[in-house]
Copies of this chain bind each other. A is one copy, B any other.
Amino acid sequence: MQLNKWIECMEKIAPSVLAEDWDNPGLLIEPENREVRHVLIALDCTPKIISEARWIGADLILTHHPIFFSPVKRILREEPDTAVAWRMLRSGIGLFSVHTNLDRVEGGVNDALAEKLGIMHAVPYGEGIGRIGMLAEPISLYRFAQKTEDLLHTMVSYTGNPESSVQKIAVLGGAGGNAVREAADEGADVYLTGEAKHHEAIAAEVLGLPILVAGHDETERVVLPILKERLQEMTDDVKYSLALSDGGPFRRGTGGIIHDQ
């Protein structure tokens, strides 16, 4: 499939006009091949992902997170800001990102996250990125935290009273710690996001809204199979692979506290 045609399909799935102003979605590194035959899908473009893409012969890597948030004036091999770009360009594989446009679009990151967590009737709120909806029945905050760990294969941090009952849930995958207020304004019982700073959690206490921090990677990864499926439907002459080496940067916890120091 021609690259331009493929980009048009992608634009239908996650229109770039939905992205935030500061974002950098779209075609970031143009590939050598003008034909797209095999696309590797991952959250981030890392050296491991590039190796995997070369191994499977991908023409293009499709990621959630863009590169080049800060614009650059040179492309060097070992500089953190440009090392990935250098490798991509040397390998001839292209890079395309769908970021806050995929967060916001119907069927995107946050709809996938709500569905995964059993949140029903989820609708957009605030600036249209997060989703809010209802659990089938109220459960304790502690139990909702446990379920989140189980369903997202993660380890959570949370604020608020573990015994409090929650049913109306606001979710915003990725770094959503700066948007606690919008969730409070909606009357959410708890606000689940991927990443929140200490001082954002402190500020949330004043608003009286428990927040549940479930991992940047873990709250966004849920969209990848859905994205793959939608693309496959629209472009049946292209092959898609979910990256195997894209497990998120962090290991969570050590599985136990040791006492024999």
Residues of A near any B CB (own CB < 8 A): 24, 26-30, 32, 44, 46-47, 65, 68-78, 80, 83-86, 89-90, 92, 142, 145-147, 149-151, 155-159, 162, 174-175, 181, 194-195, 197-199, 201-207, 213, 216-217, 248-254, 256-259, 261
Contact = CB atoms under 8 A, between A and B. Distances in A.
A175 B157 contact: no
Contacts of A181: 80
Contact of A202 (B24, B46, B74, B156): B46
Contact of A253 (B65, B85, B203, B253): B253
Given A75-B89, A197-B216, A257 B150 contact: yes
A45 to B, nearest CB: 9
A155 to B, nearest CB: 5
Interface secondary structure of A, over-half rule: mixed
Most chain B beta-carbon contacts within 10 A, residue among A83, A142, A251, A259: A251
A159 B72 contact: no
B71 A73 contact: yes
Contacts of A155: 155, 157, 252-253
Contacts of A197: 175, 195, 216
Contacts of A30: 75-77, 86
A162 B255 CA distance: 13
A254 B142 contact: yes
Nearest to A79: B206
A29 B71 contact: no
B202 A29 contact: no
B84 A206 contact: yes
A44 B198 CA distance: 10
Contacts of A26: 74
